[in-house]
Amino acid sequence: MTPNPSAFPAPVRRVAIAGAGIGGLALGAALRQAGIEFTVYERAAKLHPVGAGLTMQANAMAALRTLDLDEAVASAGAVLGEAVILDRTGRLLQAIDLGRLGRELGAPVVGIHRARLHRILLDACGADGVRTDREVIGYEDEGERIRLRFRDGSAEEADLLVGADGLRSAVRAGLLGESPLRYSGYTSWRGICRAMDPAPVARTSESWGEGARFGIVPVGSGELYWFATANAPAGGEDPPGRIRESLLERFAGWHEPIARILERTVEEEIVRTDIHDRPPVRRWSKGRVVLLGDAAHPMTPNLGQGGCQAIEDAVVLARALRSFSTLAEALRWYENARVRRANQIVRNSRSAGRIAQWESPAAVLLRNALVRAVPRSIAARPFARAMRFEIPRL
Ligand SMILES: Cc1cc2nc3c(=O)[nH]c(=O)nc-3n(C[C@H](O)[C@H](O)[C@H](O)COP(=O)(O)OP(=O)(O)OC[C@H]3O[C@@H](n4cnc5c(N)ncnc54)[C@H](O)[C@@H]3O)c2cc1C
């Protein structure tokens, strides 16, 4: 593969991106920086990110630095100093010094409200590059170009179609065929707890019970993002208007401030999501179509890496498109750089979730004792590996 030293002409003049989530917008920002023309087509009529908050791990912050967005994200969120695992009574099982890890990796770990992250990515991408109410339903790869078809009956042409359309990606279905999602065995709830007094400390926690977890992440502006999980059949629903109440019942007897956080959350803003992933695949591209983010490697959220990996994909794909003179070489380099790493995180995340959701009291006692016994330096290692971002050499 011959890197294109002059960086131009790029192998594509116009890129169509399906989906204005974290991955699609990050790719828009990276292509804009690279001087490559693009349009993001978003199904929703209005851009409004679902899912309260999230953690941007050090690898995502390092990737965002290449787009000059790391400082904006850090100041719109909360830089986290420590991550702890607790049991349901609040007893410490394990701790990771995120401040130290961040210094070693050269980038911090940040908790942030999703709406604020999306706003930063949208501004960097440029709102005029995003078309809402445009659902991609299919495409024809015509060799010299690609033709996208939309739900409203219209069509557009481009040199490359990037499927950044999430877990239930239509572009992926066109590329790899329809396949069922893999249910993890647990569901989740997420919310934001407003205006805590005193302001939250820079510590993120995850408390482990029997078949259930509760996580708390400061996201700046005095707010806390929280998530809860519980083993449950797929497709379950909460009684309308009683989500908060049923969570208060489910987490009754757990340590403070869990009940206080739930009480301070607006019922209508609680989001419930069944947790799915897909078995990893080795090819994310064919011809003039390529996948990115959850469309390529949907993962369970146990390592807080889904959005972070989407940002890594975006930065690496844009680098590929400006560095090679043929599209085939650029996409091969992108896959070589990304597939193994992302797939490993899919697998690790799934295993971590399986253990964290153990239900039998005896197994939970044993698990908690083992987690407590692991030296902190060893406990930090898998996180440090996942949090290291490097763009491979051309
Ligand atoms: C409970 C939970 C907690 C999580 N916590 C974290 C965390 O702490 N850190 C982290 O990094 N990640 C986390 N994640 C994962 C993260 O949310 C996803 O990995 C991330 O949003 C993926 O980004 P994406 O852009 O690939 O897809 P999405 O965010 O799903 O965006 C896809 C976009 O495409 C649009 N779309 C869909 N179909 C079409 C179509 N046919 N045509 C046009 N547009 C379309 C959608 O409307 C959407 O806007 C968590 C996930 C869950 C469920």
> What does the alpha-carbon distance between residue 182 and residue 350 come to, in Å, rounded to a whole number?
11
Within-domain flag for 212: no
Quote the ligand 1 centre to 22 CA distance (angstroms).
7
Name the percent of the chain in helix, strand, coil, to the closest 5. 40, 25, 35
pLDDT tens by residue, 71-102: 999 999 999 999 999 999 999 999 999 999 99
Q: Is residue 289 part of a domain?
A: yes
Q: What mean pLDDT is predicted for residues 249-254?
A: 97
Quick check: 318 and 312 in contact, CB under 8 A?
Answer: no
pLDDT greater than 80 at residue 264: yes
Supply the pLDDT for residue 1: 40
Our count of domains for the chain comes to 1
CA of 268 to the centre of ligand 1 (A): 20
Please determine, for residue 4, whether its predicted confidence score (pLDDT) is greater than 50.
no
Task: Give 310 Cα–ligand 1 centroid separation in angstroms.
Answer: 9
Stretch among 114-123, 197-206, 258-267, 367-376 having the lowest mean pLDDT: 197-206
Ligand 1 centroid to Cα of residue 19, in Å, is 9
- Structural domain contains residue 209: no
Tell me the pLDDT tens digit for each residue of 317-352: 999 999 999 999 999 999 999 999 999 999 999 999
Q: Which domain holds residue 74?
A: 14-181+277-386
Q: Residue 386 pLDDT more than 60?
A: yes
Tokens 């070693």 -> residue: 104
Ligand 1 atom having least distance to the Cα of 165: 34
What pLDDT score does 9 carry? 64
Please report whether residue 210 resides in a domain.
Answer: no
The whole-angstrom separation of Cα 125 and Cα 127 is 7
pLDDT(7) > 60: no
Domain membership of residue 215 (yes or no) is: no
Name the band, by pLDDT with cuts 50, 70 and 90, for residue 168.
very high
Say if 354 falls within a structural domain: yes
User: Is a pLDDT exceeding 60 seen at residue 6?
Assistant: no
Which of 42, 73, 139 has most ligand 1 atoms within 8 Å of its beta carbon, as the pocket-test mutant?
42
Domain-located, residue 216: no
Q: How far apart are CA 113 and CA 191, in angstroms?
A: 10
Q: What is the pLDDT of residue 71?
A: 98
Taking the C-alpha atoms of residue 28 and residue 188, their distance in angstroms, rounded to an integer, is: 30
* Largest Cα span, the chain: 63
- Cis bond leading into 233, ω under 30°? no
Q: Which residues contact 16 (CB under 8 A, 6 or more apart)?
A: 38, 39, 41, 146, 148, 156, 158, 160, 161, 162
Residue nearest (by alpha carbon) to ligand 1 atom 15: 306
Q: What is the mean pLDDT of the chain?
A: 95
pLDDT tens digit sequence for 27-51: 999 999 999 999 999 999 999 877 7
pLDDT of res. 303: 95
Distance 164 CA to ligand 1 centre (A): 9
**SS3 letters for 210-233?**
CCEEEEEEECCCCCEEEEEEEECC
Q: Which atom of ligand 1 is nearest to the CA of 167?
A: 30
> Measured between alpha carbons, how far is 128 from 94 in angstroms, rounded to an integer?
46
What share of the chain in percent tops pLDDT 90?
Answer: 90
Q: Quick check: 287 and 141 in contact, CB under 8 A?
A: yes
Q: What is the pLDDT of residue 5?
A: 45
CA of 16 to the centre of ligand 1 (A): 18
Q: Rounded to two decimals, what is the model's pTM? A: 0.96
Q: Does residue 3 carry a pLDDT above 50?
A: no
How far apart are the C-alpha atoms of 120 and 382, rounded to whole Å? 29
Contact 169, 278 (CB under 8 A): no
Pocket test for ligand 1, best of 114, 132, 290, 294 (most atoms within 8 A of CB): 294
Q: How far is ligand 1, taken at its centre, from the CA of residue 148, in Å?
A: 21
Instruction: Specify the higher pLDDT residue, 200 or 122.
Output: 122
Task: Decide: helix, strand or coil at residue 286.
Answer: strand
Which residues, judged by CB distance below 6 Å to any ligand atom, belong to the binding site of ligand 1? 18-24, 41-44, 51, 54-55, 135-136, 164-167, 170, 188, 190, 227, 273, 293-295, 301, 304-308, 310
Considering the domain boundaries, does residue 4 fall inside one?
no
276 CA distance to ligand 1 centroid (A)?
12
CATH of the domain at 57: 3.50.50.60
Paired tokens of 256: 């403070």
